A and B are shown apart, each in its own frame.
Chain A
Amino acid sequence: MTESAPQTLQRRAIALVSGGLDSMLAVKVMQEQGIHVEGVNFFTGFCVEGHTHAIRKKDKDKNKRNNALWVAEQLGIKLHIVDISEEYKDVVLNPKHGYGANLNPCLDCKIFMVNKATLMLNKARELAGEKGFDFIITGEVVGQRPKSQRKETMPIISRESGADDRLLRPLSAKNLPETLPEREGWVDRGQLHDFSGRNRKPQMALAKRFGLDDFAQPAGGCCFLTDESYSRKLADLWQARNERRYELDDIMLLKVGRHIRPAPHYKLIISREEGENRFLEGYRYQFTSITTSSCPGPLALIDGKLASDDELRQAAAIVARYSKGRTDDEVVVEVRDPGGVVRQLPVRPATPDQVSPEWMV
């Protein structure tokens, strides 16, 4: 008896979906070839996503959609969102391949995510056999990102993630060695692409061909760690604590407010508008906070311990400087400890020259 080859078996791929255009196109290219695709999206804690817009009131009119979910819906694919924020700390703190221009461990990050997808693929294969998945795709393009998407880093990602030749990059496949799905004839290499470099024109043309006209294209990708000012705040946090570690709350707070460090042992996180005010309010049970009671003003959290009453007065004066009473002779502030004990304190708002530019984190 000859074994009949399961020619009709629909091959299945897991796609890393960030919510940006490239992963969207990579999925489309696979769907065009009849591949069943499901998406996976990883939450690292550093994602520039819905909640950042949800916090800031001025961004209220911007769509608050989660881009990965939105993309999945446009593509008609299932999406699995995975919280990797805890395990991801090791990627940020100890990147084997180092950082990019800021604290972005892009290469280690990509290896980590593809590895996660590989483990998922193996698990699904174990649980569901042929209903599991056959390979992984990403929207990576050779030469597009200086740290991770270079010709020489592509094989490193394949190898170190453990995906090996089960990792296919449909947008750049023709610039890379043949992978398992191409060799096995599950996908036609001839119909894959040879995009390279930072020029986005080929992606735009392909998007047009697929009729896609609404997509997110954040500069530096979808991660706060590629942002210079965010990375500076994270480095400041480590320096102030004398150790490189963080909790999820820390990295959320770095996305919000004005951060001012008048002394190495404490900093103020001052809200800039109503949305941030409401967000910071949720932290009043963890931090001592300052608000102005004699006039409208911001909410500030004190991260660290104040050494004296003089320091408290200095902190209060700085907060008053960002209130409506900044030009008044006196503003009354309310200092509230995490236990809810409140103390009123009249202060003279700090003048601009009393808030050193060097304190701005």
Chain B
Amino acid sequence: MSHHELDARRLLCPMPVIKTQNQVNALRQGDTLTVICTDPGALNDIPAWCRINGHTVLETREEGHEVRVTLEIGEPSIAL
């Protein structure tokens, strides 16, 4: 189990979600990932993406203009 960080600053929706998805596909079940974004939309979109794809959001935090979403990777799905 390991922790990872993804810099998605300055990317606009849906790119932070796409980057998160691609990174998650390369990780293992139980790993954790913190995504750092500047698009406030990520605060809704990344948790929504996690819910529908079976990953768990551990924490969402706003720090100034940045949004940090930490998630735990669930069961892998077929990477299309």
Contacts and interface: CB of A to CB of B under 8 A. Distances in A.
Interface in B5-27: 10, 12-15, 17-18, 21
Contacts of B54: 78
B1 interface: no
A78 B14 CA distance: 16
Contact of B41 (A54, A76, A282): A54
Contact of B51 (A73, A81, A123, A128): A73
B61 to A, nearest CB: 18
Interface stretch (A62-70, A87-95, A168-176, A209-217): A62-70
B17 A66 contact: yes
Interface residues of B, number: 22
Interface of B: 10, 12-15, 17-18, 21, 39-41, 44-45, 48-49, 51-54, 77-78, 80
A132 B41 contact: no
Contacts of B51: 73
A47 B13 CA distance: 10
20 contacts: A14-B80, A38-B77, A40-B80, A41-B14, A49-B13, A50-B14, A50-B41, A51-B12, A51-B13, A51-B14, A66-B41, A66-B48, A69-B52, A77-B52, A79-B52, A80-B21, A81-B17, A81-B49, A83-B15, A131-B78
A49 B13 CA distance: 8
A82 B18 contact: yes
Contacts of A73: 48, 51-52
Given A77-B52, A80-B21, A50 B13 contact: yes
B18 A78 contact: no
Q: Which 5 A-B pairs have the closest CB atoms?
A: A51-B12, A50-B13, A50-B41, A120-B80, A51-B13
Interface of A: 14, 38, 40-41, 43, 47, 49-51, 53-55, 64-66, 68-70, 72-73, 76-83, 120, 123-124, 127-128, 131-132, 252, 282
B48 A65 contact: yes
Contact of B45 (A50, A128, A282): A50
Residue from the set B48, B51, B52, B77 with the largest chain A CB neighbour count within 10 Å: B52
A72 B12 CA distance: 20
A51 to B, nearest CB: 4
A286 B36 CA distance: 23
Contacts of A51: 12-14, 39, 41
A54 B39 contact: yes
A259 B48 CA distance: 35
A196 to B, nearest CB: 31
Given A55-B12, A70-B48, A73-B48, 4 more contacts: A38-B77, A78-B52, A80-B21, A252-B12
